Amino acid sequence: RMTPAEALHALRAAEARDGPIPVDFRRDLLAKLASALLGRSEAIAAAVDADYGGRSRLDTLLADVVCTADAARYTRRHLRRWARPRRVPVPFPFWPASAREVPTPKGVVGIMSPWNYPVQLALWPAVDAIAAGNRVALKPSERTPRTAALLAELVEAALGPGIARTVLGGPEVAADFAAQSWDHLV
């Protein structure tokens, strides 16, 4: 099992080694994530059902799998436009100056997710963070251990260890995760 500090260190090392994530690679990652979610949908429904001791398969498929895959596909479609620098207005006293807003990644984003929609609430913020060019570390809820383990497998297969890591564990691990020096924490 990876500690939060090890996950952060590994992702910072990948960031230093590989540099910023290019927009086209981000789009590929989002497509792989959506495909992995849909491809493992029945396994996800079974894991959530087992963790809850009974949960509607349809609820999991709609609220956890399909809506998250749709978010990844939607974001992928719009990403090139969203990632472009754009002109912004300059206040009158500074005329004739011009200004541009340049979307810039924050770095490494930590994502702590609750138990109630364990896939959606872990991966939807990951979709946004990856689209913005960040690397992510997930800390799924310990109340859904089967789903958390499946998320770890899915994320590693779809995104790879240079983009995303998953940290598993209980409240002590969650406290350690929250204490790390993430560039942003969700």
pLDDT digits (tens, 9 = 90+) for 44-72: 999 999 999 999 999 999 999 999 999 99
Residue 152: pLDDT band (50, 70, 90) is very high
Amino acid 1: pLDDT: 85
Residue 88: pLDDT band (50, 70, 90) is very high
pTM (predicted TM-score)? 0.93
Q: Rounded to 5 degrees, what angle do the CA atoms 139, 1, 64 make? A: 35
**Separation CA 98–CA 94 (nearest Å):** 9
CA distances from 21 to 50, 90, 131 (A): 36, 30, 9
**What backbone torsions phi and psi does residue 103 show, to the nearest 5 degrees?**
-60, 130
Q: Are 133 and 153 in contact (CB under 8 A)?
A: no
Q: In the predicted model, what is the mean pLDDT of residues 5-22?
A: 97
Q: Residue 99 belongs to what H/E stretch?
A: strand 99-101
Amino acid 170: pLDDT: 96
